[in-house]
Every structure is written in structure tokens, then in C-alpha cells.
Amino acid sequence: MAKTPRVGEQAPDFELPGTAGTFRLSEHRGERVVLLFYPGDRTVVCTKQFCSYRDRAEDFASLGATVVGISAQDVQSHEDFIAKNSLTVPLLADTDKKVAKAYGAFSPRLGTKRAAIVIDEQGVVRHRHDHLLGLDYQSVDDLKTALDALPAPTPG
């Protein structure tokens, strides 16, 4: 299994299909990126999590980061989940679970685990929150606090 990237380590690059097209992490250098790993579409806590982001769309938009959700369901499942709940966060299909494993957000018994990982403009992990049981999630305020704690980007 790949080493879990710790805070201060380079985030592993990946490419996944998603509801807004193909997402490749390295194409987002120069941006802050939040990866939201979650167990599954149409589950109670995951629905509550992504609906909370939808309900605070203005606050969410002000985070100043590219935010994507990642779970093991396919793109069609994600599209149905978004349509049913009018969700606003693009969702990526990690059907072989390689990305969850590379980021230490996978358990052989439970599958994809809930985790929030903040990556800075240089592709370095600056914050991670791994949920032990997956019964709670990072709120918009939690994500804002994590992003606000990052140093200001240095001009290139």
C-alpha cells in the first residue's frame, strides 16, 4: 500500500473521471485543492455532508479552493446522486480505489473512509482530517479554518 501523505509531504498525483470531466491533480498546481473522500453516494451521512455544502454555496464558493468529492462509485452513480440532491461539488469516480489507498483513506473492511485533505498551491499536503468512524464530516466552517491557516501563496 502506498504511504499515506502526511502534512508537509507532496500529494500523489492522480487522474480520475468525474461529473465535471476528467480531473488530474497536477493540472491544479497554483490552486488550493480540497479532496473530500467519502464512503458512498446516497448514504445518510454522505448525503447530509454534500447537502450542507450545497446549502451554504456562497460560503463554500468563498473558500478560494478547488473542491472535489471522491468515492468508489462510478460517474453515473455520482451524476444520479448530484441530480437527486442538487449538489454543487463535483464528484470523482475512484472505482478501483487506488486514489483512496494512495491517500490512506481506505480500509479493506470498510472501503473508502471519510477524510478531508487540503493541498496547497505547490501540491503539498497542508491539512488532513481523517474521520475515525465516518459518522461526522468537515463542515464549511471546518474547511474554511483549515484553508485560512495556510500561508499566503508566494508570488511566482
First to last CA, the chain: 35
Annotated catalytic residue: which of 46, 100, 105, 119? 46
C-alpha cell at 127: 491539512
* Sequential DSSP letters for 88-152: -S-EEE-TT-HHHHHTT-EETTTEEPPEEEEE-TTSBEEEEEE-SSSSS---HHHHHHHHHTSPP
Pairing of strands 115-119, 33-37: antiparallel
46 is catalytic: yes
On the 0-12 / 13-18 / 19+ scale of CB atoms within 10 A, 28 is middle
Residues forming the active site: 46
